[in-house]
Structures are given as C-alpha cells and as structure tokens.
Structure 1
Amino acid sequence: MTSTIGKLLLAAIGLSVTMGCTRTPEWTLFYVADNPVNAQKAMATTNMLDTDFISGYYDSLAQCQAKGTGMLRLQGSSMPAAQAFVCAQACQVDDKQQLQCQRLVAGAELDAL
C-alpha cells in the first residue's frame, strides 16, 4: 500500500518538475534588415509578421529587442530599428493560416542604445 502511494507521489513530483521546466518563449523577433529584398517585401505589405522573417524566440521583450539591436549593429545596417525589426508577443497561426500576435513592439524603442 505505501509502495503504491510512494510511486504515485514520485510520479506526481516528476510530472510537476517536467512541466515546470518547459516554457514556451513569449516573444518572437521578426527581422528584415539582413536582406534588402526582405525589407522591401515587408515594407510593401506593411506587415513584417511573416514566418519568413522570424529570427528567434525570447522569454522577454528586453531580450528580443536586444537581439534585434545587436543584429543591426553586427551588420552595420543604416536601416532604422523601427523598420528593421519587430518583437511580437504570443504569436499563433489562426484557422486561416495567418499569423496573429497579441502585441507588437517596433524596434524604435532601442534606437538610442
């Protein structure tokens, strides 16, 4: 009897540890400054939320913006951050196969860095 309770308790602890260690990143970086054709395509549609432009997933807005800004610096791009990347929160593909995000933050907030 105590052996069965012990096994169940151990399984419950193991499951809770496993579930607690798997988090889905909250923010997605959409970046177009790496390729002028990408930038023209994104600006022409006025929508950077295309899976072609995804450059990473991050736990926080600050991490996402720092990565976008860092990529701009490494490339020596003269494109303004507001046009070069967007960080989007909680993105999902809807029933029509369109990417929908709860919140969008343009890269302009970190232009001064």
Structure 2
Amino acid sequence: MIEVPPASFRVTAYGEVDAAALEKLRESYDTTQLLQLVERLDACLAEMGGVVALRDELLRLHAMALTVVDGAAPAVPTENACIWAEAESVQLDLETLAAWARVAQVFLTPLVNLVPDHEQ
C-alpha cells in the first residue's frame, strides 16, 4: 500500500494556502490588526491633509526648486516662503507615511507567507 502524505496546502475560498502556515496563523494572527492599519492610515493621511495635499506640497516644492536651483522665474508666491522649511515639512510627512508602511508590512507578512510551496 502506498502512503500518500497529507497535502501541504489547503484550498480556501480565496485560493490555495500553505496548510502549516495557515494553522500557525490561526493560532496567533489577530485579523483586527488589518482594521487598525486602515485607521492608522486614515489618521496619518488626515494629519498631512490627505494624499492630494501631499501631492500639492511636492508640486509646490518642485516649483520652488525650479526657481532656486534652475533659475526659473518664481511660479509660487515668495512671501514668507522658505524652500528648506517646505522640504522639511514634506520630508516629515513622508517619514510618517513610511513608518506606517513599515508597520503595515509587518502585519501583512504572515498573510504573504500563506503562499503554498507549489506557487513559489
């Protein structure tokens, strides 16, 4: 008689997953962490004024850099404007967003690790 080893994957409603990784995940993974990621992202984006505001800040900084670096005529108001302060503000917003992304990667990695051996 030939013994067939148990399948190393499990079929779920959302595709095949590594059976051992799924069992480990079921013992320790808190799915509410994903909702908390959404809440943290919302808070992060709200703090910086949203994605559109960040985009606008980058465009404003680009216009300022064109003037300072390339000698172009000023395209944004110059009164009370300081290129390094604008850059620092954008950098802080990006650092906040990057910190959120690092936390998100930690929470997503266990789900990525569900890939079955035959898909790798």
In which range does the TM-score fall when normalised by the shorter chain? under 0.3
Q: Which structure has more RCO (C-alpha within 8 Å, separation ≥ 6)?
A: 2
Q: TM (normalized to structure 2)?
A: 0.20
Q: TM (normalized to structure 1)?
A: 0.20
Larger-Rg structure: 2
